Homo-oligomer: A and B are copies of this chain.
Amino acid sequence: MLPKISQRIIQEPSAMDELLALSSQCQRISFAAGYPAAELFPKKELEEAFVHRSQASKDDLYQYASVAGYGPLRKKLATKAQTTGITDIDENNICLTQGAQQGISLLADLFLDVDDGVVVEGPSYIGAIQAFESRKPRFYEMEMLNDGPDLDQLEEIVSSHSVKIVYTIPTFQNPTGVCMSVAKRKRLARMAEKYNFLVIEDDPYRDLRYQGKDLPSIKSFDRTGNVVMLGSFSKILAPALRVGWLVADQEVLDLVNKLRSASDFQPSNVTLQMIDQFLEENSLSAHIQRLRQVYGRRAATMQAALEEYLPQGCSYSRPEGGFFIWVTLPQGLSAGKLLQDGRPVTFIESSQLYAASQRADQLRLNFTGVSEEQIREGCQLLGQAITKERWALTA
Interface residues of A (CB under 8 A from B): 1-9, 11, 13-14, 16-17, 20, 33, 35-36, 38-39, 41, 43, 46-47, 50-51, 54-55, 58-67, 97-99, 101-102, 105, 109-113, 127, 130-131, 133-134, 163-165, 196-198, 224-226, 234, 238-242, 251-252, 255, 257-259, 261-271, 274
Chain B residues with Cβ below 8 Å from A59 are 38-39, 41, 43
A316 to chain B, nearest CB (A): 25
Closest to A13 in B: B258
**Residue among B7, B43, B265 making CB contact with A62, cutoff 8 Å:** B43
Closest to A104 in B: B262
Beyond A97-B264, A98-B98, A109-B134, list 14 extra A-B contacts (CB 8 Å): A2-B198, A4-B111, A5-B110, A9-B255, A16-B262, A17-B67, A38-B63, A41-B62, A47-B54, A64-B234, A101-B262, A101-B263, A127-B262, A131-B262
A173 to chain B, nearest CB (A): 19
Check B50–A262 contact: CB distance below 8 A. no
Chain B residues with Cβ below 8 Å from A110 are 5-6, 9
Given A3-B196, A66-B20, A241-B62, answer yes or no on A262-B46 (Cβ-Cβ < 8 Å): no
A352 to chain B, nearest CB (A): 13
A37 to chain B, nearest CB (A): 9
A63 to chain B, nearest CB (A): 5
Given A17-B67, A47-B50, A259-B134, answer yes or no on A224-B62 (Cβ-Cβ < 8 Å): no
Q: How far is the CA of A7 from the CA of B58 in the complex (A)?
A: 43
Q: How far is the CA of A259 from the CA of B8 in the complex (A)?
A: 11
Check A262–B225 contact: CB distance below 8 A. no
Chain B residues with Cβ below 8 Å from A54 are 43, 46-47
**Residue among B41, B47, B63, B238 making CB contact with A239, cutoff 8 Å:** B63
Check B257–A242 contact: CB distance below 8 A. no
**Residue among B99, B165, B257 making CB contact with A3, cutoff 8 Å:** B165
Q: How far is the CA of A163 from the CA of B98 in the complex (A)?
A: 31
Given A38-B62, A50-B50, answer yes or no on A241-B263 (Cβ-Cβ < 8 Å): no
**Residue among B251, B252, B271 making CB contact with A268, cutoff 8 Å:** B271
Check A64–B35 contact: CB distance below 8 A. yes
Q: How far is the CA of A225 from the CA of B127 in the complex (A)?
A: 29
A152 to chain B, nearest CB (A): 21
Chain B residues with Cβ below 8 Å from A259 are 9, 134
Closest to A128 in B: B262
Given A17-B67, A63-B240, A105-B263, answer yes or no on A6-B111 (Cβ-Cβ < 8 Å): yes
**Residue among B1, B9, B51, B271 making CB contact with A196, cutoff 8 Å:** B1
Chain B residues with Cβ below 8 Å from A165 are 3
Q: How far is the CA of A197 from the CA of B1 in the complex (A)?
A: 8
Check A134–B38 contact: CB distance below 8 A. no
Chain B residues with Cβ below 8 Å from A14 are 67, 257-258, 261-262
**A-B pairs with beta carbons under 8 Å apart, 6 shown:** A1-B196, A6-B110, A14-B257, A47-B54, A50-B51, A99-B264
Check A134–B262 contact: CB distance below 8 A. yes
Q: How far is the CA of A109 from the CA of B67 in the complex (A)?
A: 20
